[in-house]
Amino acid sequence: MRHADAKRLMIGQKTDHRIIKCLKTKQIAFEAFWLAAMRRLSDDAVMSALANTDLALLDVAGMAAADRAAIAAGTPGLMLMERAGRAVADAVGRRVASGASVLVLCGPGNNGGDGFVAARLLAERGLRVTLALAGERSRLAGDAAAMAQRWTAPVEPLSGLQPGAFDIVVDALFGAGLSRPLEGAVAALVAAVNRSGRPVVAVDVPSGLSGDSGRSEGEVVHATETVTFFRLKPGHLLQPGRRLCGTVTRADIGIAPELVFGEARPPTLFRNAPALWRAAWPRHDVETHKYRRGAVLVVAGGLAGVGAPRLGARAALRIGAGLATIACQPEALAAHAARGPDALMQRALADPDALARLLAEPRLSAVLIGPALGLDAAAGEAVMAVMRAGVPAVFDADALTVLAARAAGLNRLVGRRGAPCVLTPHEGEFARLFGTIPEIADAPSKLERARRAARSSGAIVVLKGPDTVIASPEGLAAINTTGSAALATAGSGDVLGGLVAGLLAQGMPAFEAACAAVWLHGRAGERAGQGLIADDLPEAVIPLLAGLAEEDGLVEGDSVAGG
């Protein structure tokens, strides 16, 4: 539960040039620079972050600092461990009947201490508990040693265990701070646990899984449920960690949020949920009109790809934009006009200056460029025209490939815009756009790649996937948990781009707009289910918007479960 191997600086530490000169590695120096950038968050962003500490995530170092803060404030470490072990015992108790057999696997650190507590409490409740320890009992130290002394039954070695002979297994071997692969007898036992098919309750994270990256370097426990404490970690939400954790239960062990978060150290990493963007959701009074609700321009290509731009435009309208216009090559104009929807407008890019005139329209609120744009010279000119325009813009699909040829100067291009810029790459597009920048390509996790790309480019980055990460240049980030395999269909990303553009057009701040669009896109995919095609997605958002209108907006009830 508690991690002594904190490797990263915490928000609130000094990060001026004198400190950075003393940092020992290039990695730490980069993170110190990033932390300094965090201080540029606006007052509104800080207050919004403080209002959402319940959604905040903590990395391994952050959780270690939270433990230390609680202990320094007067809560004994033994009490924190007792509460953690009780939460694990409660989780086991909900899954088995009285008298069931339980195998508790304990490691040599504080995670193992939590396991000793859980084993004692389960035995007191009438369950038949076998406890096995990795290593020698005499080598336990601190709180873990104290809790081991309270266990009066035998302690078994790991060798010779048959996990399949028990009704349930508790994995208290290693916590989120483990930085090496499982080896030897421990790895063999974990493989046996996974083969057994028995339900597994993991403590903090499944053994072998990184709490920061959600990845493993070798054998890893496949948990049915993971009980973690105070706040979730990135590894609980990033794949494959989310799948390996099973259902994640967050237990309150008595760490007060104000000991960890404050105006000088606001949370910067969140689980994406409606409460994160609740206050920024667009609201329109009865006297509004279509231009106040926002006009979106979708820049398209030629006749070969008329479906993708229409999906984006339709999504922008469904999310609340008052007007959507597709600007396309003349030969595609009739095809767009014939396919509707009736509310969608079309404009032909009949001469080299046509797009510039549309972008200069004072009532234009947001632009989406990229879906089926093409990769020819005209596409490149269109991307640069939008990049120069002082209007919020979403760059997706082909536009990202065009920008990849200008990746070295992307920060300069974005910085000159004077308006929000959102990039929505999938992994392949991200690699083309940022793969030649070592500090991004070599980042230890998807979360860090997105954060570093946002800082490097100056844009909001939406790194798509089953665990989409939304990151801002100022250091804010959110990990999304909505979505299903149904969204793996052609055109799904075009709809997402339109949702973001539609919210930008209504004046929603770019980070919140991206978070809201990603969450709604994922939830719509979940609700629609098997058989979904991208054409269904804009309509699938409508019931969610009706829910958002209730109590100012919010359909809560999203859960964190593996899958």
Reported as a single tens digit per residue, the pLDDT across 447-486 is 999 999 999 999 999 999 999 999 999 999 999 999 999 9
Specify if 226 maps to a domain.
yes
Are 100 and 233 members of one domain?
yes
Give the residue, 248 or 20, on which the prediction is more confident: 248
Q: What percent of the chain has pLDDT over 70?
A: 87
Q: Is the pLDDT of residue 37 over 50?
A: no
Q: Tell me, what CATH number does 301's domain have?
A: 3.40.1190.20
* Spatial CA neighbour of 66 closest among 264, 258, 209: 258
Specify if 261 maps to a domain.
no
- Residue 50 is predicted with a pLDDT of 64
Specify if 449 maps to a domain.
yes
Beta pairing partners, 247: 225
Are 472 and 523 members of one domain?
yes
Specify if 43 maps to a domain.
no
Q: Is the pLDDT of residue 4 over 50?
A: no
- Residue 117 is predicted with a pLDDT of 99
* Spatial CA neighbour of 95 closest among 43, 1, 170, 36: 170
Specify if 292 maps to a domain.
yes
Phi, psi of 256 (to 5 degrees): -75, 130
- Residue 520 is predicted with a pLDDT of 98
Specify if 269 maps to a domain.
no
Segment 550-555 shows an average pLDDT of 45
pLDDT band (50, 70, 90) for residue 339: confident
Residue 412: how many other CB atoms lie within 10 Å: 11
Q: Is the pLDDT of residue 332 over 70?
A: yes
Last residue of a domain, one of 224, 254, 284: 254
Specify if 201 maps to a domain.
yes
Pairing of strands 477-479, 469-471: antiparallel
Return the amino acid letter for 462.
Answer: V
Distance, in Å, from the CA atom of 255 to the CA atom of 136, rounded to the nearest integer, reads 31
pLDDT band (50, 70, 90) for residue 331: confident
Are 230 and 177 members of one domain?
yes
pLDDT digits (tens, 9 = 90+) for 252-269: 999 999 999 998 899 999
- Residue 316 is predicted with a pLDDT of 97
Residue with tokens 């036992």: 189
Residue with tokens 């959102």: 422
- Residue 482 is predicted with a pLDDT of 98
- For 462, the enclosing helix (H) or strand (E) is strand 460-463
pLDDT band (50, 70, 90) for residue 30: very low
Pairing of strands 101-106, 168-172: parallel
- Distance from the first to the final alpha carbon of the chain: 24
Q: Give the range among 165-174, 262-271, 336-345, 380-389 with minimum mean pLDDT.
A: 336-345
Are 250 and 292 members of one domain?
no
Distance, in Å, from the CA atom of 169 to the CA atom of 191, rounded to the nearest integer, reads 13
- Residue 350 is predicted with a pLDDT of 80
pLDDT digits (tens, 9 = 90+) for 378-407: 999 999 999 999 999 999 999 999 999 999
Are 502 and 392 members of one domain?
yes
Q: Is the pLDDT of residue 338 over 90?
A: no
- Residue 222 is predicted with a pLDDT of 99
Q: Give the range among 11-20, 35-44, 325-334, 353-362 with minimum mean pLDDT.
A: 11-20
Token digits of residue 10: 């915490």
Distance, in Å, from the CA atom of 120 to the CA atom of 78, rounded to the nearest integer, reads 14
Segment 302-322 shows an average pLDDT of 92
Q: What percent of the chain has pLDDT over 90?
A: 77
Segment 438-445 shows an average pLDDT of 96
- Residue 304 is predicted with a pLDDT of 78
- Rg (alpha carbons) of the chain, rounded to whole number: 26
Distance, in Å, from the CA atom of 562 to the CA atom of 56, rounded to the nearest integer, reads 19
Are 381 and 322 members of one domain?
yes
Q: Tell me, what CATH number does 107's domain have?
A: 3.40.50.10260
Segment 415-435 shows an average pLDDT of 97
pLDDT band (50, 70, 90) for residue 334: confident
Q: Is the pLDDT of residue 105 over 50?
A: yes
Are 160 and 278 members of one domain?
no
Are 293 and 401 members of one domain?
yes
Q: In what order do the strands lie in the sheet with 101-106?
A: 155-156, 128-133, 101-106, 168-172, 200-203, 225-229, 247-251
Are 231 and 339 members of one domain?
no
In order of 3, 57, 198, 239, 510, the CA distances from 213 in angstroms are 16, 13, 26, 8, 25
Rounded to two decimals, the pTM is 0.89
Q: Give the range among 152-156, 164-168, 328-332, 547-551 with minimum mean pLDDT.
A: 547-551
Which 3 state secondary structure label does DSSP give 253? coil
Q: What is the 3-state secondary structure (H, E, C) of 463-483?
A: ECCCCCEEECCCCCEEECCCC
- Whether residue 133 contacts residue 155, with contact meaning beta carbons closer than 8 Å, is answered with yes
Structural domain total, the chain: 2
Looking at the chain, how many residues does it have? 563
Are 278 and 250 members of one domain?
no
Segment 169-186 shows an average pLDDT of 93
pLDDT band (50, 70, 90) for residue 273: very high
- Provide the domain limits for residue 125: 77-254
Are 425 and 539 members of one domain?
yes
- Residue 306 is predicted with a pLDDT of 87
Average pLDDT, the chain: 89
- Residue 13 is predicted with a pLDDT of 33
Q: Is the pLDDT of residue 6 over 70?
A: no
Are 243 and 281 members of one domain?
no
Specify if 125 maps to a domain.
yes
